[in-house]
Amino acid sequence: MSTKENRGDFVQWIGADMSIQVFLHLDDPSDLARVCSVSSSWRHFVIANGLFKQLCLKLLPEMRSVAHVIEVNNMIEPVRVGQSDCMEWECLNRNHRVFAQLAQGLTPFLQNDCISEAISASSTDNHPEESIWNTLEPNDKVGRGASYWSSKGQSDPAVPEALVYKFIANLCLVTEIHIQPFQAYFQHGFPIYSSKAVRFRLGHYKLPLQLENNVTVNSAINQNSMDDKFVWTYTSPEYPMAQENCLQKFKLPEAVLCIGGILQVELLGRVQRQEMDGLYYICISHVQAVGRPLSRPFDVEILDPTGKCSLKYFPQREYSMLSHGSPKGETGATSRWHALTVRLMERGVRGWENMILNTLLGIGPVVEEDESDEELLEDDSDDEPWHNG
């Protein structure tokens, strides 16, 4: 670049170290994506210095514990539109796309409601009155009745139990699991049926994640033992559980990236014998998972049994969310932009118009599958065009 051309380029003027500090003061992934679209030299600067990774770790500090695994093991595969002759640059470019997608896709705040549904329990005493589905209810009473899951009774207090849940997204950064044992207020002495200890596993179905309906999933699961249904990619340490009627919080040693969206709660050992039959039971009133799930327009496809996955983006989900109203508290110009986007999407827009609108909104331009020009204006959330599911 000539001296004359350098005059308007502060990156060249103030130097690399100071430019990095300036760019890292951006708090929105869309802003950093716009930096990439200013010029090819700025895009090269952002990729070469891993600025999207640094921004992702700044916005999502829990990612620090899994960033190395993502990079070294290539756990997440972004959408690819071209090949590079330089392997080192290709590695930088790939990590740039992955962390840009995660920065855009993971929810900005920790949620304590990451569980969407109950899948199965190793045993249930009285179905459906004492079903695992009751553990999704935050209270131990619903109306005049008790709300809890109960295992079958066992004479051996060492017999474990397991509860399996589905997260609200197929990719979730999990930090804590909360469990509340059930206190039987309708029995003499108000016994609390906790377990001695608890352990957690995270993973995914051995079956394909994309099945036609839930009936197919459930029927397949019922034909196999629990170990044959899932691939567990993470197992936590054991945590002692107190025999107390309260929401007990179990923080994982490090945040764990769950690819596949399946949680297993292992309840190890029994402490409470039921007076009427002399058998040991475990009863749980509520289970929560705390973490950062992928937002609704994003999803993952499992590529192999190790849990490697490909990130997907479904723009129609974004537009569906917009068409059903703006988020609470959103007013003024932003609401008008969203309303305009919905109208344009309903009548159809050309690819470049779509790209410009999404860039203005910070959603990220959507490129049709047959478009693979690497020189296209970079996405607001990763500098590659999203796969249009």
**pLDDT one digit per residue (tens) for the chain, 389 residues:** 444 445 567 787 888 888 888 888 887 888 888 888 888 888 889 998 989 888 888 877 767 767 776 777 777 777 554 454 567 788 888 888 888 888 878 877 889 889 999 999 999 999 999 999 999 999 888 877 899 999 999 999 999 999 999 999 988 999 999 999 999 999 999 999 999 999 999 999 885 544 333 433 343 344 346 667 899 989 999 999 999 999 999 999 998 989 889 999 999 999 999 999 999 999 999 999 999 998 877 787 787 777 777 777 776 665 565 555 444 433 444 444 444 444 444 444 444 444 444 544 444 433 333 332 233 233 433 333 333 33
Q: What are phi and psi of 137, to 5 degrees?
A: -80, 125
Report the SS3 class of residue 220.
Answer: helix
DSSP codes, 76-132: EE-------S-HHHHHHHHHHHHHHHHHHHB-SS-BS--EEEEEEES--SSTTTT-G
46: tokens are 């952002």
* Homologous superfamily of 112-209+226-295: Galactose-binding domain-like (2.60.120.260)
Percent of the chain having pLDDT more than 90?
Answer: 35
> What's the pLDDT tens digit per position in 90-99?
888 888 888 8
pTM of structure: 0.71
Query: In angstroms, rounded to a whole number, what is the distance separating the alpha carbons of residues 383 and 36?
Result: 7
107: tokens are 């929810």
Q: What is the mean pLDDT of the chain?
A: 76
> What's the pLDDT tens digit per position in 60-77?
776 776 777 677 777 777
Q: Are strands 309-313 and 76-77 parallel, antiparallel or unpaired?
A: parallel
Residue 38 has, within 13 A of its CA and on its CB side, a CA count of: 17
